[in-house]
Structure 1
Amino acid sequence: MAPDREHESNERALVRNCDRHRTAASNYWEWEKKPDGSFTWKNSIPQAIVDAFESERFIWGGRWAHFDTMHFEYRPELFDPDCAP
């Protein structure tokens, strides 16, 4: 197994990140890309789900410039005030 795929498998095994299955309720920047390469942020994940995950220190891919609304990743260290720039 390639190192990057091994890391991904370990992250999922530890439930550090999860992706909802592709459904009508998830959006991904590449799926929204127009022929000219541009895309517009779009989200169908209910805010209550985002709030629930973020309250448990998961980051949400819907906040990324290249958004992935189905992606939630457990990153408690990013919520530590000592990590702020």
Structure 2
Amino acid sequence: MTKKIEETPLAPAMKISDWIIVFILTCIPVLNLIMLIIWSLDKRGNPNRRSFAQAVLIFVAVMLVLSSFYFGQMTGWLFQIMALM
């Protein structure tokens, strides 16, 4: 009894020029979010780029939550200091 191993097709590796284009597009405000959402939802695109886009979006969401919390804390402390004056 031999098990049949299914071969999954490997995604083609992205060239350095492709990664440079990705990084340039992610440096442009507003366009970066649009492109990251498109790349993360694209089922037919390169899975490496899709995973990168998903990771960046998760990172941005976490940093947005943390920075909102930090900003709220700083604002609260500022109002407390102003109330003491």
Shared topology, TM-score over 0.5? Answer: no
Quick one: higher RCO (CA 8 Å, sep 6+), 1 or 2? 1
Q: Per the shorter chain, which TM-score range?
A: under 0.3
Flag the structure with larger Rg.
Answer: 2
The normalised TM-score by structure 1 is 0.25
The normalised TM-score by structure 2 is 0.25
Q: Which has the higher helix share?
A: 2
Q: Which has the higher strand share?
A: 1
